[in-house]
Amino acid sequence: MVKRIAVAVPGDLATPTGGYAYDRRIIHELEQLDWKIDVVRLGDGFPYPSVDEKQAAHTLLTNIPASRPIVIDGLAFGVLPDVAAELLREHALIALVHHPLALESGLSAAQAEAFRMSEQAALASARRAIVTSATTARLLAAEYGVAADRITVACPGIDPVAPARGSSDGIVRLLSVGAIVPRKGYDILIAALAMIKDLPWLMTIVGARSRDPAAAESLDPDISRFGLADRVSVLGAVSADRLAELYMKADLFTLASRYEGYGMVFSEAIAFGLPIVGTHAGAIADTVPAGAGLLVPPDDPAALASALRSIIEDPAERRRIAKVSREAARTLPSWRDSAAIFASALDAVA
């Protein structure tokens, strides 16, 4: 029997970020499991919607037929507490929380608190919260008042891929993937790379530059200021095929995130058997298995540089960590596994 739900997503579902990639793939996999998905596009502006954008979202959501369960992506759900309370009268609401809005980097204390209070109020109207990591599940239970038995953890899945080939010319290819926003810590990464200019490496950064114009505009000057323009390439968003090619040619994956609710790119890198250098912010320590890389404190360029140096300088260590990473890839869930867990949460409320 085909079961039907509405999935409400802010902005463009094709946006090249981990959160949107998760939404797209879960929708696809649920359809393969005989769910009928009505995708409701809530418009741009979230999580800072204008009055008109919020009203338009209200209209779209309240026009969904009564009794149909609604999954709302957390980028919008957290700033629509009044709408959530109204929808609760006729719908089972499911919040899809990638990570709490208050934990985005660059917010003032007042902005973070406003997001926290708004999202806490919205979550009070959710029949269930689906999160992408155990870290986020613990956070919602401890700080947002969501009962643990109303939280389902559906981690992102991976697709099986061949191990990365890497380079063979003595120059270590580094890869970093993520939208150019403050939370991804590219300023820290560039500062760290400036400390290891004596080593043979080249860096490729892949990520949409449109999410935070100020962060994107500051990245190129940072690269030039440290004299790295001939060693760091910033490609912007690329196609899935091109990204897979870049993973295949890489020797090491690194990202200096200040927070991750899961960190899909880390599991993607592990799927390709790449050694990881990152931070232990948020859920990264849960995402990157022990021995598959080196994790350092966030906002610490010296620690990041030291970790990068230790792996770049030692080919045998790179091979050892890559072997652990490849073995760890076998334990990661498939997208069908993740969708089955997601579907079980929908069954519980439908």
CATH number of the domain enclosing 76: 3.40.50.2000
- Given a contact cutoff of 8 angstroms between Cβ atoms, the answer to whether 262 and 18 are in contact is yes
- Given a contact cutoff of 8 angstroms between Cβ atoms, the answer to whether 78 and 100 are in contact is yes
Token pair 């890489």: residue: 250
Q: What is the mean pLDDT of each run of 10 residues along the chain (350 residues)?
A: 89 88 96 96 93 95 95 97 95 96 92 97 97 95 96 94 94 96 96 98 94 90 96 94 96 96 93 96 91 96 98 95 93 94 92
Q: Residue 80 belongs to what H/E stretch? A: none
Q: 284 lies in a domain?
A: yes
Same domain, 222 and 176: yes
Q: What pLDDT, on a 0 to 100 scale, did the predictor assign at position 211?
A: 83
Please count the structural domains in the chain. Answer: 2
Q: What pLDDT, on a 0 to 100 scale, did the predictor assign at position 1?
A: 57
Domain enclosing residue 183, as ranges: 172-329
Q: What pLDDT, on a 0 to 100 scale, did the predictor assign at position 2?
A: 65
What are the structure tokens assigned to 54, written together?
A: 């919020």
Q: Using CA atoms, how far apart are residues 74 and 129, in angstroms rounded to an integer? A: 10
Same domain, 17 and 126: yes
Same domain, 325 and 176: yes
Same domain, 89 and 186: no
- Given a contact cutoff of 8 angstroms between Cβ atoms, the answer to whether 349 and 92 are in contact is yes
Same domain, 268 and 137: no
pTM over 0.85: yes
Q: 163 lies in a domain?
A: no
Same domain, 322 and 337: no
**What sign has the CA pseudo-torsion 195, 197, 202, 206?**
positive
The residue length of the chain stands at 350
What are the structure tokens assigned to 223, written together?
A: 């690269």
Q: Using CA atoms, how far apart are residues 212 and 331, in angstroms rounded to an integer? A: 35
Q: What pLDDT, on a 0 to 100 scale, did the predictor assign at position 87?
A: 95
Q: 83 lies in a domain?
A: yes
